[in-house]
Structure 1
Amino acid sequence: THPTQWDHEYLEMLLDHEWEVVQSPAGANQWQPVDIREADMPVDVEDPAIRRMPMMTDADMAMKVDPGFREIAEAFRQDPERLDDAFARAWFKLIHRDMGPKERYIGPEAPTEDLIWQDPVPAGATDYNVEAVKQRIAESGLSVGDMVATAWDSARTFRQSDKRGGANGARIRLAPQKDWEANEPERLARVLGVLEPIAADSGASLADVIVLAGNVGIEQAAKAAGHDLVVPFQPGRGDASQEMTDTDSMRWLEPLSDAYRNFLKKDYSVPAEELMLDRTQLMGLTAPEMTALIGGMRVLGTNHGGTRHGVLTEREGQLTNDFFVNLTDMGYRWVPTEANRYEVRDRRSDEVKWTATRVDLVFGSDAVLRAYAEVYAQDDNQAKFVNDFVKAWTKVMNADRFDLEP
């Protein structure tokens, strides 16, 4: 009866009356109560002397007649304070969900409790010996492809749209991520089985060790190509638990495609190269950063399932610019074979040299992306490519490190 103030009369109105379908003035179906007393009718917002027949929609009726919703409605009616708290929490979630974890909040009204929909992550250690951990990883026997692919899979879920996902928390080892097709569950379990003891023995979080392993793989691949470098690293990631993980909402982060590892779960109506751009903008990458990363990931042997598509090099495992050199070489022609697949053939002998996908071809066929590719294909730009790859890689690995923001 007081439509402009907070109270709980909605539930009383809904549950205490029987309702019938009537036609609105516009001819639509709506619900109104049967035999309602005038004293129970809502007052007009502008003139309290006027009372109007209440109207409900099918959505309102669901709260009354659906058994599950009815149980919740009855519980709220019996405990109004519970409704007040639930509404406040739901409202807070609605208007803050795209702001990320509570570490990003400022001001005295920010809540201090951990809310599961914020994907909480405990603080990680920073006082362990990073070089000793890197040495153990290097001696573990893992391949460059295994180390780089696992670190990438852990970090690529980051979405700048709502600040969810990323490597912090090592949720790649938890449900549902550990079972995602994009993460190659069997390979992932094997790699984590090697990295977990290293984390346990060193005092580092597994999240840190996963990223460090990727860095080690890149450093090894760069050295094999003649470039001595150290990939930047910031310790302090933590390991989330399964209890800290909202499993149901986490499933929406599952990659259905990943051009960086030449993965496509199935053929979609959206072209693969457009899916590539979507994931790229979600991770906050620029077009040149995307180009450098894809060219590097191809030659490092990180393709999903070990496929050879787009591996345009004879030196797999070395961080070279071969992908771009061979992509732009006019001595080859690209022949479509099936949906999303191409053969790269020698123009003179017609011999099949490599296979590739649409996301490989677009770096040669799109004018803008080809311009970036030709820069990296130059003989005197090998060092530039390696440095740009490392910068873009580090950006992805640290995308969810909000504790590092100035």
Structure 2
Amino acid sequence: MLYNKIHGQDRAVESTGTALDTSRRGFLKIVALAGAAVSFGGGVARAKGEIGFWAKDLTDQQLIDMYTTVLRIRWHERTMADKMLTDPNYRGYNHFYAGQEAVATGICATLRNQGGVIKADLIYSTHRPAGHALAKGIDLKKMVAEMDFRATGLNNGYAAEMHISDPEVGFMGADGMIGPGPVIATGSAFAIKARGSDQVVVNFGGDGTYATPHFHSALNNAALLKLPFIYVIENNLYHQYAHYSYSCPMKDIADAAQTYRIPGVVVDGQDVIQVYNAAKTAVDRARAGEGPTLIEAKTYRYYNHWGAPGAKPGELGAFGYDPLAISSFRPEREVRAWMQRDPVDIARDILIDWKVVDAAKASEIEASVKQEVADAFAWAAAQPLCNPEDGLKHVFVEGTVEARQFG
């Protein structure tokens, strides 16, 4: 495949043996055309025309920032997994995002991530939120503290993992249930259109959301009203422990866009540049008042559905038996095959190929990120825990709820 030619050992040669243009413009055009072959071929409904080659216009610093974000997400996930496996006093838990870093990074790099809910673009997350939150620009230390139920965390220890939020950067919150996020997100998109803002709203959903009524009602209303709404499906093949084919009759969930007469794009979710290009097209379209887009990013999660069963400290990924699934629900070879197309490796190789950084600089950036993450976990561990009775705060707008004991 052309993708493998680009990112594998033979990336400088086409399948015909013709030498490629290795400049940023030439390299990106090959990547984008490879993505377009997936996106527009096989009779699948897609956005009209080719995905723009937008990443060619990014500065070196913007590209480095994207690579840094991919790394920040990866090392947060790896560090947290190790804490869960080795530290009996650690209270955090996670639905890990490792393996999907390019999706959140590529999408959020196209958005306005400052200015609060009046100026920033808004995103609504899933029950796997850490990657989205970090890509949107939330404070790493405060997020780490929040996930360990610390009183100085992002949401004062009330949210833990599945309900974190930071409206100041447009991160409107994670969704502990499968489905309602897009309905809330399209409500925000309607409000934005009603007040004449040019903000856009992105909803992240897993492949399992296709089978919910929320998925279809959100796209239906967004299409009817031409809302500035982008639905990103992160198809990592499994919702919990079931393959997505058990709940979706199509190979490509993006086919659903045909029903609502909106663009549907399939993109390689392991490649941050392909994700960025597809997202930039969708965001520009939404800002121009042209309505919603459905993006399906083909990706994979390296850990099991929840927590770190099957994982070992210091090693990336989880393999084999998951007691929550009652069995090994996915082949180890499948996991390892996806890990051969790792978002971190792909992002680093692209920057080196484009001569944005050399191998030494790429390693230096990664070492710096690892230290940043380690420092965040050390800071969080020194913060005070929230009090159990604090869980009764903010139940009502005014007044308090008295604690009651049941025996």
Q: TM-score range by the shorter chain?
A: under 0.3
Higher relative contact order (CA 8 A, sep 6+): 2
**Bigger helix share:** 1
TM-score (norm 2): 0.26
Structure number, greater radius of gyration: 1
